[in-house]
């Protein structure tokens, strides 16, 4: 919110501010003959008027987006313990790296000779990610985790097809993130759900019963989405490998184990990493991120083409000669600028720093858990949480309020709420991931706010139901948004 | 090095609170065999200063001095300085998917505005809040068309750029999607193809990968007559001049966002856009932002129609997309607002004038001619009288001029694409002409 | 203010947030033998402990300054019609220009051969500023307007001394900015004040009576600080030149006439420009700006050394061989980064753009005046205002409120107040400078707010007295600040 | 081109409202002779793109690749990336002097924090909110001392950097300030000078322009014994190791802020800092921020003791300074907070170790020796056995090494300064040694 003023309590849209004929842009003067489009594009259907874009001066543009930013929470503004998202500090160092002109001004179809800096960087990054995951080769095309999942499952399919082995199903735990089944469906697989046991881990016996020759593979997050390490992972891997099925590692929670435990050692065959989580690239209001996929040697032939290679002469190149490749997943090379940031992050941390990172991420989560789980019990208290923990807010329901209300109250107390209602297997789930970059004081203040909100649920439930009241808008009518469906501005809107 | 703020005191106190004696102690329940001793084999951590110096050396090892006449979906348009300053603001940069709308109105409103400008560019009423890139946007549109028509085949113009054709095939393969191509003609335009009754969608590009303006209306009519949908991959600057594909009957208009304020950046991050008619809204992939009111009746914005998405719908979702390219979409919004309607028109006209001039000038050279005859506005294919066009491209790069890509298929196969943005001057065209003349001469 | 939360309504200081042992910084590892300071600096008094700087992690640092920014108004946030300050849009283009590595990484003592880009830029800038002011040569050392004034008056002194002509007084209008008399005093001159006439212009007859052989010169702002063009400037100049005295042009208001009227043509001998006003470089919360000084040929020999020159071979250099120079005013070359921004601004505008700029600046001021002067009359209505106008809020005093209160109420209405209580010659002065970069809608909204506040002064004066109420803090006890004098944090403060 | 948002309609309507028919019409009351016809003779306006391209060409014409061993008040310390991101935030960047404290608490609090860190660095309780630079800061301090002592002469060490000595003379001249210099000795230290009873202040630098650490305590005692004040120009990184001058008896501690997060930037903008004892607070130039409370009792910050300043006090003001270097001061605050006490110490120690190593290594070269014998921590003068040291500096620059400045006076006159920040590696020192050895050899 702006620093002052009643007038500025809302921000009109760009279209409300638009005035015909106003304009911020300037273009170089033409030093070639001007051309009449009607003549030059003879026979082509031209627009009568250009699209009705907003018309503003540059100052009003800058003000608009500055004011919009004042209506938005981000890590830079305060704590953001969104479970499964690793909302850690986004280093300005990494932003500076990606902004270097040598990276910014490179055309995607520049010849490899012109791109040696970026290619060398990607090659190193591949080696480091391979080392961290226990894999060997990477594709950088996937633009996010889900894109990586799709790529990975396509690799499963290509692998099995190459062996003449048509398989139909992908097994996914009931605690899995929604992208896992959605990716499996996009890859033409039938989804088979394996239940979690009473302790929040995959029910291994149930799994073993589900696995058969039609199983293409298993998708697993480890630590899983309730924040617990799948202790039987070796047995799980053996069960799948025994029938020729493969294991996919969803790297959303890699921050818990990075530098300490390797998916490859656990038996995974394909891994995606969410570099916008583990390696601290900015989430940008929803993206861009990057979801590089790492594979073991036996899946490498199927990777999307091209892959980055080091030639014998020490130069780097895109290798397009991949006859078994599943093909392309991206129109260019992927979110290279995000990968540059990840490279900077890894170079800064080093192997030693990454161990500190994951250790402190786990410590922070366990510390907050130690401060709040008496009032918000863990969904699965049998095992020690890793980098995040999932509590249940079940107990406050007796007061006629739900975890949603608790979360809205947290906003008034100055904190972005944790992830809630995910994973689905925990009733009234509250999933807290503090990340390693938060200080003990912040964790203490947050824990106190959480306790306060729980206490208020009993003492003053209306306070929770009314919350938030300190925000630019109060609770929004989502039903109306879905019913009336106003998804673009138009001049006849009020 | 790390960014954790823990002091030794903090570590002691916090470890005590959780009943552990060291960080390692928090991992001892993990089977020992999975915990290799020692550190991973990465370079040792280093200071911010040393890190950035190393990155600067990498950046300097790229050669970005060549004058950029390259096209193929990424163009050297100017990116105004205000964009980086605004999308770099921490409140926007470091936020995530607006799950809590009350504290995310800034991004939500920006996305609502983004959806509006995409709707304007495409001529269709509904836009989502971004996709990964232009290639995957075409693939997602194909899925939408298949769902809408309950058919499972797609016909692509061979004048759709090669990477996008590959992405469509990759996405289609596991779903047994029949994927065929219709060859463009000598004019560079895609003829209206015969369509069998299993065809869900025809995909063309506007202008296409040869730079040539397609007859969208004819394709739309033919597709509709066969019960199929028309998907148009739009190069968005073009609608500064051309009619919007939506107004010409396209059902789905998608595109690569690179020309809209993204810079070259080796092709990423950029974003893909996607727009459709209102009757397709429930099939759209990814986030959509809608307008609503709060409890006090004030206007506000939320993500809407969430029941399409993976976190709610799981394997029944319209797509698996979760993290998208929001910040890129906001950059595009700023770019388009900076341009304004007249700026977009002027920009497109500048491309047209410069491209026409360059085509005229370059085809004056012996052994250089246009490889297609159709109308173009910023990009065109040149047939060079050389043995190996790729070698000519390399030689031109060595001479300081970046052109390309080389056309991979059809009548213009082997031709070299040349693109002119508003930034390319007459002098630069002269320089390119000199270099090209020399290279063609030496080769023949 | 942050987007949410009661907790974040205040922002603790860095020292409150500090925790012993915490740290954001990283340094390169030593690759030379470490050295014991006690031995290496034998006999030197070393510190027992380093200075007690704040100790925070980088995320908490970033959050602190982000949150502080949320408690601050700037042009990017909203209208900022601070008279005499030209608070116009600060182009991001200019920021990008100054951030180019070739400018940022140049050491101030790099040899001239290594600085050809910057030197050529400064040389061009000198030519352009000379053209715009009607002068010939520049010094870039002055870091702000006042610094330029000091330089200029030193040039007066050097000029007179060189002619064996000791002169004691500087004449300054009663409407002048405080820096004018303060600069004169720093330059050892006695200040003689010339009154303004009833029409707000210098009383020329009074001036002529004051001028004599002891007069070193006159300092004048034109348009003057009531926003009026000194129509008799030629007669004024003649009066001074007649007795061998000089004229100093205070360029704070150059935005009104830039590209249209030249101080040199009016008879001025020395000119400073406030590039942070006219040429839109950011004010940075108080600075840095730049105050380059331009002179006519006869004062050029006295300029601070070195000056930038173009050698016969086309190269550029610092010329140190200035035997009559007054010496240095800056430890390096001045605020070069600010001058780079000014260069970008001028190149972008060109001569044509500058005329548009000043024309629209004057139009905007006159437009707002046309909307409000019925309720807030001009201090001097006899002449047309230029780029700013000065109204008097005298009339609201009958309601027991003053212009201060009106200004505080404007804050609640969403606008930064105009300059007030300056110039001193207008009772309850309100000095409005909209600048050319504001849209008509903004000017209309501001005018309406001003009218509303004036109306409320009669109807609801307490509302003005209580204002502001929408800000992070309400009115502050300035008396207490001056009495108790807490000018740094200390641990024993509450 | 311009940044005004006026449409043609706006212009018409607004001109009508003010009763004019054109923009020119607003100037017709100005005597015609003062209104030259036509446009000023500047290049015609151009687009943002062309403007930035032109600037990029200028920037590229500077040579900044040489390894920086130069000193003389500006040092190649690392500037953390967070600084630009934070001081670039529009609310801070585009604000001005906080005349309206209720909407300026961000800057006011930052300046209060800045004053605190300057107080810590200098060892004196009161700091202002910044001055233009180190040179003018010394001149302002001299004025303060003259006012305090009612004397009008100053004695400067000749080991104060040459530009600063010139600035002090320039400021002093119109006020008939007696300005003399005391020569430093063979050890590079300034001997305690004899002081006559008109001397208001002695000025030394810590470490001085030869890099040598002065005995501040001895100078303070001598100055005080003569009724004069001691002004110390402090290189601020040094107090990572050295005692603060305030703790050693200095009355006024000022300095050049460049080492504190400003970058090289050809020497500007940077800032000057100034600190004094509480009894001098009413003589301090420029802004001071003080803490207070608002009507609701909440802590807040305001500019205070305004009656010292030019806008209130006019010719009786303590200085004419108005616009200062606030944003640079905030950058310094961020830098110092990033460093923290231990970081500052480590930084100073890194300089010390690297400088000692370099001095040892370089003086192994025949014809290269230390020009002074006193203790130094990051910068030292080398006497080269060459005819023209300036030519040697130029030759070194051509070889890729920037050193300097050349000492202008005293026993070390003609020696070349070499500075080592935390960034200079052992390899770079080897490179410098090789180049230096070759150049000295060729010259002799
Ligand atoms: C466990 C899990 N898997 C997969 C994903 C999908 O990753 P992305 O959003 O990068 O596509 C997420 C994202 O939140 C996640 O939390
Ligand atoms: C009329 C006038 N003169 C001089 C100055 C001093 O300029 P600066 O603040 O750049 O030192 C100002 C600044 O506000 C001013 O308004």
Instruction: Please report all neighbours of A, defined by 3+ CB atom pairs within 8 A.
Output: B, C, D
What is the β-pairing status of strands B252-256 and D67-68?
unpaired
Contact B52 D422 (CB under 8 A): no
pLDDT at position C10, please? 85
Rounded to 5°, angle at Cα A176 from A171 and A177: 125
Q: Chain D within 8 Å of C12 (Cβ-Cβ)?
A: no
Which pLDDT tens digit goes with each residue over A282-294? Answer: 999 999 999 999 9
pLDDT at position C2, please? 57
CB A145 within 8 A of CB A252: yes
What does pLDDT average to over chain C? 96
Which pLDDT tens digit goes with each residue over D202-256? Answer: 999 999 999 999 999 999 999 999 999 999 999 999 999 999 999 999 999 999 9
Helices (H), B22-155: 48-61, 81-87, 90-93, 105-122, 134-149
CB A310 within 8 A of CB A165: no
Contact A62 C472 (CB under 8 A): no
What distance in angstroms lies between residue C394's CA and the mean position of ligand 2's atoms?
25
Taking CA atoms, what residue in C is nearest to B5? Answer: C57
Which pLDDT tens digit goes with each residue over B216-255? Answer: 999 999 999 999 999 999 999 999 999 999 999 999 999 9
Residue D264 C-beta-side C-alpha neighbours within 13 Å:
26
CB D410 within 8 A of CB D374: no
Helices (H), D123-203: 134-149, 162-172
CB A331 within 8 A of CB B235: no
Rounded to 5°, angle at Cα C124 from C122 and C130: 100
Structure tokens belonging to residue A50: 């250009």
What distance in angstroms lies between residue A146's CA and the mean position of ligand 1's atoms?
6
Where residue C485 falls (left for φ over 0; alpha for ψ -120 to 50; beta otherwise) is left
pLDDT at position D312, please? 87
What is the β-pairing status of strands C169-173 and C215-221?
parallel
pLDDT for C491 beyond 90: no
Q: Which of A5, A70, A441 sits opposite C413 (nearest CB)?
A: A5
Residue B442 C-beta-side C-alpha neighbours within 13 Å:
11
Distance CA C157, CA C327 (A): 13
Concatenate the DSSP letters of all residues of A201-253 into one string.
SB-HHHHHHH--TTEEEEEEESS-TTS---TTHHHHHHHHHHTT-EEEEEETT
Distance CA D74, CA D266 (A): 9
Contact A27 D47 (CB under 8 A): yes
Average pLDDT over residues A56-77: 97
What distance in angstroms lies between residue C177's CA and the mean position of ligand 2's atoms?
7
The closest alpha carbon to D78, from C11, A273, B127, C27, belongs to: C27
The closest alpha carbon to B324, from B289, B277, B290, belongs to: B289
Residues 6+ apart with CB under 8 A from C479: none
Taking CA atoms, what residue in B is nearest to C4? Answer: B103
pLDDT at position D311, please? 87
Residues 6+ apart with CB under 8 A from A446: A79, A81, A368, A415, A434
The closest alpha carbon to A220, from A189, A259, A185, A181, belongs to: A181
CA nearest ligand 1 atom 16, residue? A84
Instruction: Please report all neighbours of C, defined by 3+ CB atom pairs within 8 A.
Output: A, B, D
Taking CA atoms, what residue in D is nearest to C357? Answer: D2
Q: Chain A within 8 Å of C78 (Cβ-Cβ)?
A: yes
**How many contacts (CB atoms, under 8 Å) link A and D?**
53
Helix axes C440-459, C336-372, angle to 10 degrees: 60
CA nearest ligand 1 atom 7, residue? A145
- Per the listing, tokens 């054109």 go with D22
Distance CA C471, CA A431 (A): 35
Which residues form ligand 1's pocket by a CB distance below 6 Å? A 84-85, 144-146, 177, 179, 221, 225, 250, 252, 274, 289, 291; B 322-323
Contact B241 A47 (CB under 8 A): yes
What distance in angstroms lies between residue A423's CA and the mean position of ligand 1's atoms?
12
Residue D401 C-beta-side C-alpha neighbours within 13 Å:
28
Contact B81 C93 (CB under 8 A): yes
* Burial category of B425 from C-beta neighbours within 10 Å (exposed 0-12, middle 13-18, buried 19 and up): middle
List CB contacts (< 8 A) between D102 and chain A: 4
Helices (H), B226-323: 310-313
Which pLDDT tens digit goes with each residue over A411-437? Answer: 999 999 999 999 999 999 999 999 999
Chain D: give the shortest CA distance to residue A370, in Å: 31
Chain C: give the shortest CA distance to residue A316, in Å: 27
Reply yes or no: is the peptide bond before residue A235 cis, omega within 30 of 0.
no
The closest alpha carbon to B340, from A408, D285, D49, A57, belongs to: A57
List CB contacts (< 8 A) between C61 and chain D: 82, 334, 337-338
Per-residue pLDDT band at C1 (split at 50, 70, 90): very low
Residues 6+ apart with CB under 8 A from C341: C94, C95, C97, C98, C275, C279, C280, C281, C282
CB C390 within 8 A of CB C429: yes
Where residue A91 falls (left for φ over 0; alpha for ψ -120 to 50; beta otherwise) is beta
Average pLDDT over residues B131-150: 98
Which pLDDT tens digit goes with each residue over C406-438? Answer: 999 999 999 999 999 999 999 999 999 999 999
Instruction: Please report all neighbours of B, defined by 3+ CB atom pairs within 8 A.
Output: A, C, D
For residue C330, what is the DSSP state?
S
pTM, entire model: 0.98
| Cα–Cα separations (whole angstroms), residue D253 to C242, D128, D209, D217, D340 | 46, 11, 16, 13, 21
pLDDT at position A1, please? 46
Reply yes or no: is the peptide bond before residue B181 cis, omega within 30 of 0.
no
What distance in angstroms lies between residue C85's CA and the mean position of ligand 2's atoms?
7
Contact A4 C73 (CB under 8 A): yes
Concatenate the DSSP letters of all residues of D187-253 into one string.
TSPPPPPP--TTEEEEEEEES-TTSBPP-HHHHHHHHHHTT-EEEEEE-GGGGGTBPPTGGGT-SEE
Of C252, C253, C279, best ligand 2 pocket probe by most atoms within 8 Å of the beta carbon: C252
Nearest atom within ligand 1 for CA of residue A251: 3
Residue B416 C-beta-side C-alpha neighbours within 13 Å:
31
Distance CA A259, CA B41 (A): 9
pLDDT for D309 beyond 90: no
pLDDT at position A10, please? 85
pLDDT for A206 beyond 60: yes
SS3 for D416? strand
Contact C102 D64 (CB under 8 A): yes
Average pLDDT over residues C453-459: 98
CA nearest ligand 1 atom 10, residue? A145
Rounded to 5°, angle at Cα D111 from D109 and D115: 120
Q: What stretches of B257-410 adopt beta strand conformation (E)?
A: 272-276, 289-293, 299-303, 368-370, 379-384, 401-402
Sign of CA dihedral D168, D169, D171, D176: positive
The closest alpha carbon to C126, from B2, D42, D232, D267, belongs to: D42
Q: Chain B within 8 Å of A38 (Cβ-Cβ)?
A: no
ipTM: 0.98
Q: How many other CB atoms sit within 10 Å of the CB of residue B39?
A: 16
Burial A326-354, CB ≥16 within 10 A → b, else e: bbbbbbbbbbbbbbbbbbbbbbbbbbbbb
CB B437 within 8 A of CB B386: no
- Per the listing, tokens 């030689």 go with B395
Distance CA A70, CA B109 (A): 12
What does pLDDT average to over chain D? 97
Return the ligand number nearest the Cα of C220: 2
Average pLDDT over residues D90-114: 97
List CB contacts (< 8 A) between C28 and chain B: 46-47, 49-50
For residue D316, what is the DSSP state?
G
Q: Which of A92, A411, A438 sits opposite C4 (nearest CB)?
A: A411
Taking CA atoms, what residue in C is nearest to D305? Answer: C482
Distance CA D349, CA B418 (A): 56
Ligand 2 neighbourhood includes C145 CB (under 6 angstroms): yes
**How many contacts (CB atoms, under 8 Å) link A and C?**
134
List CB contacts (< 8 A) between A19 and chain C: 439, 441
What does pLDDT average to over chain A? 96
Which pLDDT tens digit goes with each residue over D246-284? Answer: 999 999 999 999 999 999 999 999 999 999 999 999 999
Mutation target vs A (from B341, B351, B378, B420; most A CBs, 10 A cutoff): B341
Which pLDDT tens digit goes with each residue over B312-352? Answer: 888 989 999 999 999 999 999 999 999 999 999 999 999 99
Rounded to 5°, angle at Cα A464 from A462 and A469: 100
Average pLDDT over residues C51-75: 97
Contact B337 A476 (CB under 8 A): no
Average pLDDT over residues B148-169: 98
Q: How many other CB atoms sit within 10 Å of the CB of residue A209?
A: 11
**How many contacts (CB atoms, under 8 Å) link B and D?**
24
List CB contacts (< 8 A) between C413 and chain A: 5-7
């Amino acid at each position: 919110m702006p620093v002052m003023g009643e007038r500025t309590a809302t921000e009109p849209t760009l279209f409300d501010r638009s005035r015909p004929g106003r304009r911020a842009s300037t273009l170089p003067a033409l030093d070639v003959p001007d051309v009449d489009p009607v003549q030059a594009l003879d026979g082509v259907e031209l627009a009568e008027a250009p699209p009705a874009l907003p018309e503003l001066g540059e100052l009003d543009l800058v003000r608009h987006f500055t004011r919009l930013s004042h209506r938005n929470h981000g890590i830079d503004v305060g704590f953001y313990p969104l479970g499964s998202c690793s909302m850690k500090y986004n280093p300005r160092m990494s932003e500076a790296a990606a902004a270097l002109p040598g990276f910014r001004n490179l055309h995607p179809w520049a010849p490899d000779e012109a791109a040696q800096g970026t290619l060398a960087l990607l090659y190193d990054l591949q080696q480091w990610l391979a080392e961290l995951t226990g894999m060997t080769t990477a594709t950088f095309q996937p633009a996010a985790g889900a894109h990586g999942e799709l790529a990975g499952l396509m690799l499963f399919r290509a692998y099995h097809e190459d062996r003449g082995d048509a398989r139909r199903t992908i097994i996914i735990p009931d605690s899995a993130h929604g992208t896992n089944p959605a990716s499996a469906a996009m890859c033409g697989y039938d989804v088979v759900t394996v239940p979690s046991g009473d302790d929040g881990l995959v029910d291994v016996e149930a799994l073993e019963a589900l696995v058969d020759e039609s199983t293409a593979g298993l998708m697993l997050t480890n630590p899983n989405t309730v924040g617990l390490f799948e202790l039987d992972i070796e047995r799980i891997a053996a069960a799948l490998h025994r029938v020729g099925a493969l294991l996919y590692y969803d790297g959303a929670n890699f921050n818990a184990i990075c530098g300490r435990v390797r998916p490859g050692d656990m038996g995974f065959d394909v891994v995606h990493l969410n570099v916008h989580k583990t390696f601290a690239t900015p989430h940008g209001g929803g993206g861009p991120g990057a979801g590089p996929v790492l594979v073991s040697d036996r899946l490498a032939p199927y990777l999307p083409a091209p892959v980055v290679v080091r030639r014998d002469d020490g130069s780097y190149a895109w290798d397009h000669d991949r006859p078994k490749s599943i093909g392309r997943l991206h129109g260019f090379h992927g979110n290279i600028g995000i990968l540059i940031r990840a490279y900077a992050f890894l170079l800064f941390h080093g192997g030693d720093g990454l161990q500190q990172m994951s250790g402190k991420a786990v410590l922070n989560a366990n510390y907050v858990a130690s401060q709040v789980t008496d009032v918000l019990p863990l969904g699965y208290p049998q095992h020690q949480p890793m980098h995040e923990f999932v509590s249940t807010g079940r107990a406050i329901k007796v007061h006629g309020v739900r975890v949603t209300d608790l979360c809205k109250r947290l906003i008034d107390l100055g904190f972005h709420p944790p992830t809630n209602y995910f994973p689905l297997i925990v009733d009234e789930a509250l999933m807290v991931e503090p990340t390693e970059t938060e200080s003990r004081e912040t964790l203490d203040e947050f824990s106190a706010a959480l306790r306060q909100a729980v206490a208020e649920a009993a003492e003053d439930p209306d306070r929770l139901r009314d919350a938030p009241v300190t925000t630019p808008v109060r609770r929004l009518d989502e039903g109306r948004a879905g019913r009336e469906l106003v998804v673009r501005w138009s001049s006849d809107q009020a | 090095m790390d960014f954790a703020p823990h002091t030794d005191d903090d570590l002691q106190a916090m470890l005590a609170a959780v009943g552990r004696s060291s960080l390692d102690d928090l991992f001892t329940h993990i089977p020992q065999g999975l915990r290799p001793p020692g550190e991973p084999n990465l370079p040792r951590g280093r200071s911010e200063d040393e890190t950035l110096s190393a990155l600067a050396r990498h950046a300097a090892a790229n050669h970005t001095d060549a004058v950029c006449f390259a096209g193929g979906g990424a163009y050297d348009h100017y990116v105004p300085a205000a964009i980086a300053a605004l999308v770099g603001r921490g409140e926007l940069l470091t936020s995530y998917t607006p799950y809590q709308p009350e504290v995310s109105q800034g991004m939500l409103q920006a996305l609502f505005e983004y959806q509006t400008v995409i709707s304007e560019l495409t001529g269709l009423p509904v836009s989502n809040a971004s996709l990964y890139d232009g290639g995957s946007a075409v693939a997602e549109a194909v899925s939408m068309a298949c769902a809408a028509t309950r058919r499972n085949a797609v016909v692509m113009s061979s004048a759709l750029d090669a990477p996008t054709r590959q992405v469509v095939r990759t996405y289609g393969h596991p779903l047994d999607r029949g994927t065929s191509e219709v060859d463009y003609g000598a004019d560079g335009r895609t003829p209206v193809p015969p369509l069998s009754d299993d065809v869900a969608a025809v995909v063309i590009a506007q202008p296409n990968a040869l730079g040539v303006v397609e007859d969208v209306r004819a394709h739309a009519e033919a597709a509709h007559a066969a019960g199929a949908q028309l998907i148009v991959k739009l190069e968005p600057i073009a609608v500064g001049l051309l009619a919007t594909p939506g107004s010409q009957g396209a059902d789905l208009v998608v595109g690569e966002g690179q020309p809209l304020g993204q810079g070259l950046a080796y092709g990423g991050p950029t974003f893909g856009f996607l727009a459709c008619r209102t009757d397709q809204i429930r099939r759209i992939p990814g986030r959509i932002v809608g307008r609503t009111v709060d409890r006090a009746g004030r206007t506000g914005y939320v993500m809407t129609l969430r029941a399409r998405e993976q976190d709610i719908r799981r394997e029944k979702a319209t797509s698996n997309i979760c993290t998208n390219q929001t910040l890129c979409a906001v950059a595009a919004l700023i770019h388009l607002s900076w341009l304004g309607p007249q700026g977009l028109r002027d920009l497109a006209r500048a491309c047209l004038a410069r491209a026409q001039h360059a085509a005229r000038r370059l085809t004056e050279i012996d052994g250089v001619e246009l490889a297609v005859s159709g109308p173009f506005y910023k990009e065109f294919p040149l047939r060079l009288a050389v043995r190996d066009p790729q070698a000519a491209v390399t030689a031109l790069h060595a001479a300081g001029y970046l052109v390309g890509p080389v056309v991979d298929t059809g009548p213009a196969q082997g031709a070299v694409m040349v693109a002119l943005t508003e930034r390319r001057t007459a002098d630069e065209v002269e320089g390119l002409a000199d270099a090209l003349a020399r290279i063609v001469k030496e080769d023949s």
